[in-house]
Amino acid sequence: MLTALLALVAAALFAAVPTASARTAAAPTATLTEITGFGTNPSNLQMYLYVPDNVTAHPAVVVAVHYCTGSGPAMYNGTEWARLADTYGFVVVYPSVTRSSKCFDVSSPQALKRGGGSDPVGIKSMIDWTVRTYSADTTRIYATGISSGAMMTNVLLGDYPDVFAAGAAFSGVPFGCFATTDGSEWNSACSGGTITRTPQQWGDLVRAAYPGYTGTRPRMQVWHGTEDDVLRYPNFGEEIKQWTNVLGVSQTPAATDTPQSGWTRTRYGATGDRAPVEAISLQGVGHNLYANGMAARALTFFGLDRSGPAPQPQPGACKVTATTSAWSTGLTASVTLTNTGTTPINGWQLAFTLPTGQTITNGWGATYSPSSGAVTATNATYNGTIAPNASVSIGYQANHGGNSAAPGAFKLNGTACTAS
């Protein structure tokens, strides 16, 4: 169906994955394991599981669903979910398609009905197995996916609203948009962005998947690039219409901001990190929009980071190198901040204290406040994300009264960094 995410496909060239049967009490930790015999599985999906060494008691569960041409192991290798699980102790389930297209069934009548058969039933069995095996917290089960996996995320939240707390769909379409009755996996009208419905009509499609259900519905985060030529951009607006209707909130955003250059984020029904619906539009970006750092933002939307806007670096997870070049009454400082941790940093503040007598007169790469004493440098829009082992360089000019030294200690988002 798609040629999406070639880098992730390349990552699918993985070593042999150990296998555990359903008779095994638990899978090995810190490695991707195939689980067999996990339960009802009408479409012969494979189940892969990642359990971190530090798995928590009653862990949360994230179901990470791959794109067309992909696989569970490719999703494991090409996204940060396992690394985030290492940090926060949740379990990740990676469903994997065995049919030749490697696309999930988001089209058939069976797939678009709770308990109707096909892929959603197999994925539900994977969740049930994980809940039983690890005494997982049934109030903290989440779905996320890319392309075909994003469409399946919409389907899972529609079919099983009582199972999932939230979902995050990267380049998807609304629930029911891809529906076919002729056995075809592809719906050209939907992919082309020509199917439009009222919010009520979209919402009714979701509600029809589980007739009579009146309980809490899962929150939804959707991502889309404006230049998507595989699942066209109008699908983004249709998803927003659908999920605002399902969750009973206004289609008028409660908040709009730009968390990163070229991104427009709208939140519906509330203004915080866990609004009922959150939508991120990426200007000028095509179908292959997924990039490192986005999973951490989805994690924040899920509420699994426990610390606010993004996973915070742990002690020793950052390094700062600072040098100065001085003249009689002034200096130029160059500062390099390196993420030495294993998860992306999304949004940063670097705190340091200027030596007595120094006052910043201008700076670059960050916003500096105040200009003397205990200073905080806040990221610019273009450098707010720092991938593992990556660095950003910032700097400033300052006046000095004789002491032209660089600061000697730094804290990144409140955590001390190694200084050199």
Enumerate the active-site residues.
147
Rg (CA), the chain: 23
Residues 6 or more apart in contact with residue 13 via CB below 8 angstroms: none
Distance, CA of 102 to CA of 65 (rounded, Å): 11
Nearest to 230 by CA among 274, 285, 175: 285
Residue type, 52: P
Which DSSP helix (H) or strand (E) runs through 131? helix 119-134
The token pair that represents 346 in the structure block: 């999304």
Contacts of 194 (CB under 8 A, 6+ apart): 234
Tell me which residue has tokens 């996320």.
144
Structural contact between residues 138 and 131, judged by C-beta atoms closer than 8 angstroms:
yes
C-beta separation of 231 from 178 below 8 A = no
d(CA 114, CA 205): 12
Closest CA to 34 of 9, 12, 16: 16
| Residue 339 backbone dihedrals phi, psi, to 5 degrees | -85, 105
CB distance 360 to 353 below 8 Å:
no
389's CB contacts (< 8 A; 6+ apart) are 338, 339, 340
Is residue 100 within 8 Å of residue 89, measured between CB atoms? Answer: no
Count of Cβ atoms closer than 10 Å to residue 198 Cβ: 11
Give residue for tokens 């150990």: 18
The secondary element (H helix, E strand) that includes residue 336 is strand 330-339
Bridging pattern class, strands 219-225 and 277-282: parallel
Q: Of all residues in the chain, what percent are helix, strand and coil, respectively (each to 5)?
A: 20, 30, 50
- Strands 255-257 and 263-268 turn out to be antiparallel
247, 276 Cβ separation under 8 angstroms: yes
